[in-house]
Structure formats: structure tokens, C-alpha cells
Structure 1
Amino acid sequence: MTAAPAAAQFWQCAPYARQISGIEIHGNANTWWGQAEGRYDRGHTPRAGAVLAFEATGRMRVGHVAMVSQVVNDREVLLTHANWSRRGGVETDVRAVDVSEAGDWSRVKVWYGPNHDLGTSSYPTKGFIYADHEPAPPVQFAGTVPAEPLAG
């Protein structure tokens, strides 16, 4: 039996979000919002270091979580997350745009690597779980996808 190199790290979204945000919630992503109640502040305004909790859907049966690495404006953030564009891969500082009618971050479009743009689907979210401290720097491994410049 041989040890796998660090470059072979396969990340699920929840353990990765926990590691970089410091939000100590365990379990599938679709349980984070409920588990955060009474433990962490929650809301619908993005903040750097907060974790955006996605609802479970038919295509994302266990939901998704991603850390806000930067707030660009009231309808756009940069996310750092794992297991989105490529199984087990990490992406840093990728665009997410609020496409909800009410502007409350209840539905988003997220950068999708194979398209080199926002994906064609939009996803329902529950909101943001706020960390009570500054986020840790993203964990970098070989195979981490660097952010591409924003179109401007």
C-alpha cells in the first residue's frame, strides 16, 4: 500500500468549506442551514468569509456549500469552493451572480469551468451562514483551478 500524494486530494464541498471558512458544521451540505440555526448568524446579504448554502435539488441531491471570498457588489460575489466544475476539484474566486427576482440571493448562477462562463442553470439557495472571524486562505493543491479574470 502506498500513500497518495497531496495532489491527489479529492474534495467534497462541505469539508472544504468547513476548512476554509472555519464554520464548524459537519454533514451533507443540505443540512448546513438548519444546523447553523442558533450557532451562527444567518442572512441574505453576502459577506466575505460567509458560506452560501445551496438547497438540495434533483441534480444536487445533497445541496452545495461555497465560501464567499469577495463581495463584488450587491448582486455579485466571488466564491471559493470544491466539487463544482470538476469532481473533487477546487476553484478559487469564481463568479456567482444573484438572479433572484427579489435580489435576496435565493437563486444564483455560478461560474462553470467547462463553459468558461456562468453556467446555464440557476440554483436555489437558503442564504449565507456567517463566520465569526476572518476566513482562512484557500487550501491549494495541484489541480486547483485559478480564477480567470472577470470580463469587464
Structure 2
Amino acid sequence: MVMRGITWRAMALFAVSLCLALGACSNSSVGSYHGPVQCAPYARQVSAIKLRGRAADWWWEARGHYPRSHKPVVGSVLVFKASSRIPDGHVSVVRRIRTQRQIEVDHANWVGGRIERHALVEDVSVRGDWSHVRVWWAPSGRMGRRVYATYGFILPMR
């Protein structure tokens, strides 16, 4: 697929090159990379959370290895539950806390295999526990209409 004269592969290779230049990736993590950037490998590369497997499984894989919470912390990873819209779940890295109910995240493959930085995520849960969120939808330039269920946040080790 081509977007404004740039292929997805070229964009992905640029993203990996930028990641390497900023020191956020290791050379070994890039060796077998092909195709769009996926959320789990991206989150692993740019956070202190070093889990593997399906994004939705990270919540359970973190048990006993990383602290988990229902409150965001900068550097934590928000884990989305699997659903018909996101069958493998999704993970996003918290970069900024705006308010009790709004954070900014960096994540990959929310829209077409791209890396998005400082995407707004809003807690819409009844209890304010981040169990249900809405996510910024870049193609429309506004918050997405869909509500996604999440497990919570995996915190980096202190």
C-alpha cells in the first residue's frame, strides 16, 4: 500500500531506524523485522516492560514479574483486552498523564501499522478505574467512538 508516495514498508523501516538512532531499540530486535510495526514488539522496545506474546496476554504474563495497577504511571503499559475489533488485544506505552481520566500514549498499529506518539486515551469507565477507554482516532482527527475494555497498567520495576 502506498500513502502519499511512501510505502508502509518504507515508513516502518524509517521508524525502526529512528528507534535505533535514539537508542530505544537493540540491533537484535530489528534483524527479523518485516511489514507493519506491531504493538507488542514496539511497546517492548520503547518501554521497560520486556514481555512477549499476544498483547492481550501481557496482563497475565506480568503477574509475579511486574507490578500491575488500575492507575496510569508514566512508562507503564496499558493492556487492552482481546475483542472482535482487536483479536490479539493491544498495548500502549503511557508517555504523559494529562488528568485523572486522560493520558497520552505511544503505540503502534492502532491505525494501519503506523507508530503514533502522544495519542490521547480517555478513561470512560463508571468507576474511574481505566477498565474502559476511548482512543484518539487520527484519521478523523478526534476521539474514536468505540469503547475498548482494558485490564489495566503494567508498571515498570522500580
* TM-score, L = length of structure 2: 0.78
1:131 aligns with: 156
Which runs of 4 or more aligned residues in structure 1 lie more than 2 Å from their structure 2 counterparts after TM superposition?
4-10
2:146 aligns with: 121
2:20 is aligned with 1:13:
no
| Alignment coverage as a number of residue pairs | 129
Q: Once superposed, what is the RMSD of the aligned Cα atoms?
A: 1.4
Secondary structure, in 3 states, of the residue corresponding to 2:128?
A: coil
Question: 1:48 is matched by which residue type in structure 2?
Answer: V
Q: What are the ranges of 5 or more consecutive residues in structure 1 without an aligned counterpart?
A: 134-152
1:50 aligns with: 76
Q: Which has the higher helix share?
A: 2
* TM-score, L = length of structure 1: 0.81
Q: Percent identity between the aligned chains?
A: 43
1:89 aligns with: 114
2:103 is aligned with 1:77:
yes
User: What is the alpha-carbon distance in structure 2 between the residues aligned to residue 121 and residue 29 of structure 1?
Assistant: 19
Question: 1:128 is matched by which residue type in structure 2?
Answer: F
Structure 1 residue 8: Cα displacement:
7.4
Structure 1 residue 132: Cα displacement:
2.0
2:79 is aligned with 1:62:
no
User: What is the alpha-carbon distance in structure 1 between the residues aligned to residue 107 and residue 69 of structure 2?
Assistant: 19
Q: What are the ranges of 5 or more consecutive residues in structure 2 without an aligned counterpart?
A: 1-8, 17-35
Secondary structure, in 3 states, of the residue corresponding to 1:114?
A: coil
